[in-house]
């Protein structure tokens, strides 16, 4: 059995949620917020650091939390992805739109968890947190969260998930944020009715050797011990240097054969490519006033954007053609104006975050 725990500074923390963008009606533009009665209900469940078995170090604005995010795993564990078909496609990956798995949380089985590398935190909505009796950390103020959708920010309240099991993988005292029941957390339009989904940032699993999302075979593997080895039967394999910036996975990419940029790898993003305005303008895909805007939805509400096709995106030896892309045309840009590669392209591959060697593996 192997375990670890982590120390995290929460002073001046900002939650980055790149993924979970989906269409929404044009009349829902405001950022969602927790009602005062919801905040009051959550605070009824609050516990002190001692009660939670954690420790607060220092004081705001620079406050650390120790004794959190403990991981126990004896050997690699593989669990199935939840089927979520994409249209009528017959490719294997067409059965898995997003990398969502089932977990047991505080003894409650069958909880949907999204493996989202585009988020640097674990996040769940108010209704789910309340139903699972997730305790807030007493005495901590809320922090802002911002995602692709929305003009502003939403407040997230620091909490601790006492226990989560994914197969044989045991996660304890998980630091999380509780926010409003946004559309990105309640997939009510085209996914699972009103079912709530927890967002688990892949960076929170970096104590493992690797995490692999195999869209082609419909499974996710959490690795421990030996180094990651690509599938010997794969017809295509590329290993791309991986770095972590703001707790998000970043690789180098080449757009349209000669435009070099860094790119956030976003397994939770239900889109192809997200380009900031400056990049879209430089590549000739967008300028202020060009065409009509469309609407996307994320954690922080809804925002206007412009869609188009990027002819080629190259990451390592992997080349993606005719990539559906989008640019937010107003308001703050996701993750400070970064390029993001989402699930439209990633689900064509087996995607592995090799934490030990800082490598992103893409296999087919």
CB 316 within 8 A of CB 323: no
Q: How many CB atoms lie within 10 A of CB 313?
A: 24
Same domain, 244 and 205: no
Query: What is the tens place of the pLDDT at every residue in 120-133?
Result: 889 999 999 999 99
State residue 277's pLDDT score: 93
Same domain, 174 and 252: no
pLDDT over 80 at 24, yes or no = no
State residue 86's pLDDT score: 75
Task: Please choose, from the candidates 133, 152, 337, 132, the residue with its C-alpha nearest in 3D space to the C-alpha of residue 245.
Answer: 337
Same domain, 273 and 326: yes
Position 62 confidence tier, pLDDT thresholds 50, 70, 90: confident
State residue 347's pLDDT score: 92
Question: Which residue reads 């995602």 in tokens?
Answer: 147
Same domain, 194 and 278: no
Task: Please choose, from the candidates 342, 337, 348, the residue with its C-alpha nearest in 3D space to the C-alpha of residue 325.
Answer: 342
How far is residue 123 CA from its own chain's centroid?
9
pLDDT over 70 at 309, yes or no = yes
State residue 92's pLDDT score: 64
Last residue of a domain, which of 223, 249, 271?
Answer: 223
State residue 25's pLDDT score: 33
CA distance 240 to 150: 32
Residue 183 tokens read as 């559309």
Position 301 confidence tier, pLDDT thresholds 50, 70, 90: very low
State residue 249's pLDDT score: 97
Question: Which residue reads 């879209």 in tokens?
Answer: 280
Task: Please choose, from the candidates 100, 177, 189, 105, the residue with its C-alpha nearest in 3D space to the C-alpha of residue 145.
Answer: 177
Q: Please, what is the end-to-end C-alpha distance for the chain in angstroms?
A: 32
Same domain, 163 and 77: yes
Last residue of a domain, which of 178, 201, 223?
Answer: 223
Residue 230, in any domain of the structure = no
Same domain, 120 and 203: yes
Task: Please choose, from the candidates 4, 7, 23, 19, the residue with its C-alpha nearest in 3D space to the C-alpha of residue 340.
Answer: 19
CB 179 within 8 A of CB 154: yes
State residue 87's pLDDT score: 63
Average pLDDT over residues 81-110: 84
Same domain, 348 and 263: yes
CA distance 205 to 138: 25
Query: What is the tens place of the pLDDT at every residue in 165-205?
Result: 999 999 999 999 998 887 567 654 456 667 888 999 998 89
As a whole number, the mean pLDDT across the chain is 84
Same domain, 24 and 158: yes
CA distance 97 to 107: 27
Last residue of a domain, which of 192, 223, 254?
Answer: 223
Q: What phi and psi, each to the nearest 5 degrees, are found at residue 168?
A: -85, -5
**Beta partners for residue 112, in sequence order:** 102
Residue 232, in any domain of the structure = no
Residue 63, in any domain of the structure = yes
Query: What is the tens place of the pLDDT at every residue in 311-341?
Result: 999 999 999 999 999 998 887 787 888 999 9
How far is residue 263 CA from its own chain's centroid?
15
Question: What distances in angstroms separate CA 214 from CA 78, 115, 170, 353, 359, one per listed residue?
Answer: 10, 12, 21, 11, 16
Same domain, 209 and 275: no
CATH number at residue 315: 2.40.70.10
Q: What DSSP state is assigned to residue 131?
A: H
Least confident of 87-91, 111-115, 165-169: 87-91
State residue 149's pLDDT score: 46
pLDDT over 60 at 21, yes or no = no
DSSP of 187-229? -TTTTSTT-B-EEEEGGGGTTSSEEEEETTTTEEEEE-SSPP-
State residue 296's pLDDT score: 54
Q: What phi and psi, each to the nearest 5 degrees, are found at residue 131?
A: -70, -25
Residue 229, in any domain of the structure = no
The total of structural domains in the chain comes to 2
The residue segments making up the domain with residue 307 are 237-363
Could you tell me what percent of the chain has a pLDDT over 90? 60
E strand or H helix that includes residue 309: strand 301-315
State residue 315's pLDDT score: 98
* Whole-prediction pTM: 0.87
Position 22 confidence tier, pLDDT thresholds 50, 70, 90: very low
State residue 192's pLDDT score: 62
Query: What is the tens place of the pLDDT at every residue in 190-247?
Result: 566 678 889 999 988 999 999 999 999 999 999 988 889 999 999 999 999 999 998 9
Residue 56, in any domain of the structure = yes
Any alpha helices (H) in the chain, and if so which ranges? 36-44, 49-52, 126-131, 277-282, 343-346
Position 146 confidence tier, pLDDT thresholds 50, 70, 90: low
């Amino acid at each position: 059995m192997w375990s670890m725990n982590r120390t995290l500074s929460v002073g001046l923390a900002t939650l980055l949620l790149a993924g979970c963008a989906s269409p929404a009606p044009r009349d829902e533009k405001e950022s969602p917020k927790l009602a005062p009665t919801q905040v009051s209900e959550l605070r009824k469940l609050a516990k002190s650091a001692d009660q939670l078995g954690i420790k607060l170090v220092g004081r705001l604005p620079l406050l650390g939390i120790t004794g959190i995010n403990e991981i126990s795993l004896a050997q690699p564990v593989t669990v199935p992805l939840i089927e979520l078909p994409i249209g009528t496609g017959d490719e294997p990956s067409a059965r898995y739109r997003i990398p969502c798995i089932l977990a047991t949380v505080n003894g409650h089985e069958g909880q949907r968890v999204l493996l989202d590398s585009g988020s640097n935190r674990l996040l769940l909505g108010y209704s789910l947190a309340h139903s699972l009796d997730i305790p807030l950390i007493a005495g901590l103020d809320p922090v802002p969260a911002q995602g692709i959708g929305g003009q502003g920010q939403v407040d997230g309240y620091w909490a601790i998930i006492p226990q989560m099991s994914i197969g044989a993988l045991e996660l304890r005292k998980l630091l999380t944020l509780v926010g409003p029941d946004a559309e990105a957390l309640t997939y009510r339009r085209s996914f699972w009715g009103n079912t709530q989904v927890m967002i688990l940032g892949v960076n929170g699993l970096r104590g493992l050797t690797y995490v692999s999302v195999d869209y082609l075979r419909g499974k996710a593997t959490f690795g421990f011990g030996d180094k990651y080895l690509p599938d010997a039967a794969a017809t295509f394999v590329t290993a791309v240097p991986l770095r972590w910036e703001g707790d998000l996975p970043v690789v180098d990419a080449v757009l349209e054969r000669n435009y070099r940029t860094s790119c956030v790898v976003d397994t939770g993003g239900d889109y192809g490519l997200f380009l900031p305005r400056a990049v879209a303008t430089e590549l000739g895909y967008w300028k202020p006033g060009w065409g009509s805007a469309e609407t996307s939805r994320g954690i922080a509400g809804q925002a206007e954007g412009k869609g188009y096709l990027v002819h080629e995106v190259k990451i390592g030896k992997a080349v993606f053609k005719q990539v559906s892309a989008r640019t937010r045309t107003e308001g703050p840009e996701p993750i400070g104006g970064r390029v993001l590669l989402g699930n439209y392209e990633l689900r064509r591959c087996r995607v592995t975050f090799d934490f030990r060697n800082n490598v992103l593996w893409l296999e087919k």
